Amino acid sequence: MDNYEQSFDVLQYRLKSARRKKRLQKKDFDKQLIQITKQERLLWQRRRDLPMVPLENPYQKGWKRYFVVRDDIKRSPSAGFFSTLLEKINTVQYHPEKSFKVKKRRRGSRKRSKGPEVRRQFLQEFSEWHWNHHSLKLTELEKAHFHLYEKMSKDGKSKCLVYRFNEPWRYVLQVKPHIITEVKMVDGLLEQEIQLLDNYVTNHYLQPRMSRLTGGVYKYKSWQENTNRGYRNLLYSNALSSFLEEREEINNNNI
Interval 165-215: pLDDT, tens: 999 999 999 999 999 999 999 999 999 999 999 999 999 898 898 888 887
User: What's the pLDDT at 157?
Assistant: 81
- The DSSP letter of residue 214 is T
SS3 of 58, please?
strand
Residue 80 near residue 97, CB atoms below 8 Å? no
More confidently predicted of 81 and 235: 81
| Number of Cβ within a 10 Å radius of residue 144 | 10
Least confident residue range of 34-48, 157-171, 178-192, 228-242: 228-242
Residue 206 near residue 33, CB atoms below 8 Å? yes
Expressed in percent and rounded to 5, the helix, strand and coil fractions of the chain are: 45, 25, 35
- Closest listed residue to residue 122, CA positions, set 162, 159, 168, 71: 168
Amino acid present at 118: V
Gap between the Cα atoms of 38 and 32, Å rounded? 10
Residue 71 near residue 199, CB atoms below 8 Å? no
Contacts of 175 (CB under 8 A, 6+ apart): 63, 64, 65, 98, 100
User: What's the pLDDT at 15?
Assistant: 79
User: What's the pLDDT at 11?
Assistant: 56
Gap between the Cα atoms of 209 and 195, Å rounded? 19
SS3 of 153, please?
coil
Task: Please state the rounded mean pLDDT for residues 222-249.
Answer: 50
Q: What are the φ/ψ torsions at residue 192 (nearest 5 degrees)? A: -65, -40
User: What's the pLDDT at 236?
Assistant: 44
- Closest listed residue to residue 147, CA positions, set 167, 163, 129: 163
Q: Where are the alpha helices (DSSP H) in 49-164?
A: 71-74, 79-89, 128-131, 140-143
Total residue count of the chain as it appears in this document: 255
Task: Please state the rounded mean pLDDT for residues 3-18.
Answer: 63
